[in-house]
Amino acid sequence: MPENISGSVIEVAERFADDRASEVELEEATQCYCYQEYDWLAYLLLPDLRVVAAIGNATDRAARMHPAGFESERRSQSDILRDIFGNPFRAVMFDPGWRTSAAAALASQMYESRDFSAMPILGDALQDAGCDNDDILSHCRGEGPHVRGCWVVDLVLGKG
């Protein structure tokens, strides 16, 4: 996506997810994409999913403009969606006892800074707290990508 467009859309989408932007702001930020061939779907979906659809459609359009990167872009989008939503077919039960001060501090730091290089350390902190869930631990220790909205970070922060 062109940097001058994607930055503002993503920034508003993140603020909306954190209840710091209104639906009107979200609508205005995503409206520039409403003329794309599939964006009508975005406006039928729930507001949270509308953001994902609008960003995905805009990225899809940019990828079509550069066919050599199209498949790579699709894979990247899929990886990011898996980081945000996890495996929708396998629910993860998060024990609140795993939410130690160390784990919460790491998750909060990553969330605010958007620097997820400490994910393996978060995995260690969760394991030290008694977490034995393979999905959580392997996600923390995996290559990523990890983004704001990562399902494990959100669980630790009590957002999920």
pLDDT digits (tens, 9 = 90+) for 28-41: 777 655 444 344 44
Q: Is position 111 within any domain?
A: yes
- pLDDT, one tens digit per residue, over 98-121 is 999 999 999 999 999 999 999 999
Region at 87 (left for phi over 0; alpha for psi -120 to 50; beta for the rest): beta
pLDDT surpasses 50 at 22: yes
58 and 16 in a common domain: yes
Gap between the Cα atoms of 131 and 133, Å rounded = 6
Nearest residue to 50 (alpha-carbon basis) of 40, 61, 42: 42
61 and 102 in a common domain: no
Q: Is position 75 within any domain?
A: no
Q: Is position 20 within any domain?
A: yes
Q: Which pLDDT score is estimated for 132?
A: 95
53 and 14 in a common domain: yes
Q: Which pLDDT score is estimated for 156?
A: 97
Q: Which pLDDT score is estimated for 57?
A: 65
Percent of the chain past pLDDT 70, that is, above it, reads 69
Angle at the Cα of 67 (from 3 to 35), degrees rounded to 5?
60
Q: Which domain holds residue 11?
A: 3-65
Task: Check residues 110 and 11 and name the one with the higher pLDDT.
Answer: 110
Arithmetic mean of pLDDT, 6-18? 75
Percent of the chain past pLDDT 90, that is, above it, reads 38
Nearest residue to 146 (alpha-carbon basis) of 74, 4, 131, 138: 138
60 and 11 in a common domain: yes
Among 49, 65, 81, the domain-final residue is 65
Domain count, the chain: 2
Which residue's entry shows tokens 């729930």? 46
Among 65, 83, 107, the domain-final residue is 65
* Residue 35 · residue 8 · CB < 8 Å: no
61 and 100 in a common domain: no
Q: Is position 77 within any domain?
A: no
Q: Is position 83 within any domain?
A: no
Task: Check residues 53 and 155 and name the one with the higher pLDDT.
Answer: 155
Q: What's the chain's average pLDDT?
A: 79
101 and 56 in a common domain: no
- pLDDT, one tens digit per residue, over 119-143 is 999 999 999 999 999 999 999 999 8
105 and 57 in a common domain: no
* Residue 12 · residue 29 · CB < 8 Å: yes
Gap between the Cα atoms of 42 and 138, Å rounded = 32
Among 65, 88, 116, the domain-final residue is 65
Q: Is position 79 within any domain?
A: no
Q: Which pLDDT score is estimated for 23?
A: 83
Q: Is 10 exposed, middle or buried (0-12, 13-18, 19+ CB in 10 A)?
A: middle
